[in-house]
């Protein structure tokens, strides 16, 4: 073993007050634990995406990473049962004269078991073929007692027209039929804790938002998204989805990597009451942050206005309106035409100057 580098961490009585702590003696990150009368010390850096293990928690004899719940034995550094080979370095600890000392030279090496990459981690490559149009419905309803949705109806009308008249492929995703978790704020722990694919998608095989990621990032050339207006905003399902899309935008900030390239977005907005432009503004701003481009006049909308409380009347209006269906057809036509131009013009760069974001406290600006 390499020469020992013993470092005095401090008095026993102080250090045993905390069951787990992240310390950095001489710049070496260590997760120091105390349980059942003994100290343990392992590397403070998780194998997964370098989460700070000492900021996590103890479960029995295992340190649980606060970012994505990877577990390591607090004294040996070995992974939890079934993953023992995936280990972080362990460090010797001893107590002398009431002081705790740790050997900064690891007693065991780090080993990260090779893991098969998630299917969404593959490089972007557009397959040959016609323009592909993705429809995303964000309205919510009781699946056992479905109702007529004005936003769904116009979205379906747009997709039907595109498939019938524009020589494109279409796909429809109804968020209401998917089982997926809310964003759990990994970015709030650290920008690097928010990963691509989404941390939840990687950890939970039952989370179905992978269908949206797959279609949005890899399959589609144009996206038409529909939403009802709910208290002056887009639907709750819309926001549940877009919060989980932080992992797409965050790749620009953390890895200078653009996932959305040569893609067009357009929107259908309907409601019994008004606030159309505010809803459209949020959508345009958010999808621009992801990297989408927009056709001229990128949304159509309908509302009976603030005083309209009669939803049956609103539904009847949309059901009979040929003008709204023509508007949906024109909207998807504009989106497809722009997508064709982008597809024929070659692939845009997959790198950017962090989309104007700050890096290390400095705004990255191009030099003239």
User: Domain holding 128: CATH number?
Assistant: 3.40.50.360
- Report if residue 368 sits inside a domain: no
Name every residue whose Cβ is closer than 8 Å to that of residue 279 and which is 6 or more positions away in sequence: 227, 229, 232, 233, 234, 269, 271, 301
Residues 97, 123: one domain?
no
pLDDT band at 345, cuts 50/70/90?
confident
Domains: count for the chain: 2
- Asked if 58 and 46 touch (Cβ cutoff 8 Å), the reply is no
The string of pLDDT tens digits covering residues 264-307 is 999 999 987 789 999 999 999 999 999 999 999 999 999 887 76
- Asked if 1 and 107 touch (Cβ cutoff 8 Å), the reply is yes
The string of pLDDT tens digits covering residues 311-342 is 778 888 899 999 999 999 999 999 999 999 99
- Report if residue 71 sits inside a domain: yes
Query: Residue 58 is encoded by which pair of tokens?
Result: 């103890």
List the one residue out of 91, 112, 93 whose CA is nearest residue 28.
91
The string of pLDDT tens digits covering residues 169-178 is 999 999 999 9
- Report if residue 30 sits inside a domain: yes
**Per-residue pLDDT for 225 more than 70?**
yes
- Report if residue 299 sits inside a domain: yes
129, with CB counted inside 10 A (0-12, 13-18, 19+), is exposed
Mean pLDDT, to the nearest integer, of 333-357? 80
Mean pLDDT, to the nearest integer, of 180-205? 94
Residues 99, 170: one domain?
no
| Structural domain harbouring 77 | 6-103
CATH code for the domain in which residue 44 is found:
2.102.10.10
- Report if residue 113 sits inside a domain: no
* Stretch (H or E) spanning 254: helix 246-255
Among 73, 103, 133, the domain boundary falls at 103
Residues 180, 219: one domain?
yes
Residues 240, 343: one domain?
yes
- Asked if 50 and 74 touch (Cβ cutoff 8 Å), the reply is no
Residues 353, 257: one domain?
yes
The string of pLDDT tens digits covering residues 197-217 is 999 999 999 999 999 999 999
Name every residue whose Cβ is closer than 8 Å to that of residue 57 and which is 6 or more positions away in sequence: 20, 63, 64, 66
Task: List residues bridging with 134 in a β-sheet.
Answer: 171, 223
The string of pLDDT tens digits covering residues 56-70 is 999 999 999 999 999
- Sign of the dihedral defined by the CA atoms of residues 327, 330, 334, 335, in that order: positive
pLDDT band at 1, cuts 50/70/90?
low
- Report if residue 367 sits inside a domain: no
Among 74, 103, 132, the domain boundary falls at 103
- Report if residue 109 sits inside a domain: no
* Stretch (H or E) spanning 251: helix 246-255
Residues 78, 145: one domain?
no
Residues 306, 332: one domain?
yes
Residues 84, 187: one domain?
no
Residues 130, 80: one domain?
no
**Per-residue pLDDT for 250 more than 70?**
yes
Residues 247, 185: one domain?
yes
**Per-residue pLDDT for 366 more than 60?**
no
Q: How far apart are alpha carbons 279 and 10 in whole angstroms?
A: 57
Residues 133, 96: one domain?
no
> In terms of pLDDT, which residue wins out, 304 or 101?
101
- Report if residue 321 sits inside a domain: yes
Among 103, 135, 160, the domain boundary falls at 103
Residues 291, 205: one domain?
yes
pLDDT band at 363, cuts 50/70/90?
very low
């Amino acid at each position: 073993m390499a020469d020992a580098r013993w470092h005095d961490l401090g008095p026993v009585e102080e250090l045993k007050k905390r069951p787990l702590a992240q310390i950095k003696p001489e710049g070496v990150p260590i997760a120091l634990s105390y349980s059942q009368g003994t100290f343990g010390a392992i590397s403070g850096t998780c194998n997964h995406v370098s989460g700070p293990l000492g900021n996590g928690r103890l479960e029995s004899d295992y340190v649980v990473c606060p970012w994505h719940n990877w577990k390591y034995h607090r004294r040996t550094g070995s992974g939890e049962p079934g993953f023992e080979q995936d280990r972080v370095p362990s460090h010797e600890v001893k107590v002398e004269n009431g002081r705790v000392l740790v050997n900064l030279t690891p007693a065991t090496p780090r080993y990260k078991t090779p893991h098969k990459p998630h299917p969404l981690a593959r490089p972007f490559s557009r397959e040959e073929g016609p323009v592909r149009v993705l429809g995303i419905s964000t309205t919510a309803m009781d699946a056992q007692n479905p109702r007529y949705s004005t936003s769904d109806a116009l979205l379906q009308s747009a997709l039907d027209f595109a498939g019938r008249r524009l020589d494109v492929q279409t796909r429809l995703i109804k968020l209401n039929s998917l089982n997926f978790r809310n964003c759990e704020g990994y970015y709030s722990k650290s920008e690097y804790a928010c990963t691509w694919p989404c941390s939840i998608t990687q950890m939970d095989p039952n989370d179905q938002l992978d269908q949206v990621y797959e279609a949005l990032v890899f399959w589609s050339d144009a996206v038409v998204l529909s939403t009802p207006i709910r208290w002056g905003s887009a639907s709750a399902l819309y926001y549940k989805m877009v919060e989980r899309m932080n992992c797409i935008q965050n790749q620009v900030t953390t890895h200078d990597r653009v996932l959305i390239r040569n893609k067009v977005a357009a929107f259908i907005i309907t409601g019994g009451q008004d606030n159309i432009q505010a809803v459209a503004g949020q959508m345009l701003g958010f999808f621009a942050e992801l990297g989408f481009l927009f056709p001229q006049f990128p949304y159509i909308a309908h509302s009976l206005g603030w005083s309209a409380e009669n939803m049956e009347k609103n539904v009847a209006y949309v059901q009979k309106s040929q003008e709204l269906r023509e508007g949906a057809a024109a909207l998807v036509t504009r989106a497809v035409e722009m997508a064709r131009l982008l597809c024929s013009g070659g692939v845009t760069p997959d790198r950017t100057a962090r989309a104007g974001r700050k890096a290390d406290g400095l705004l990255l600006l191009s030099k003239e």
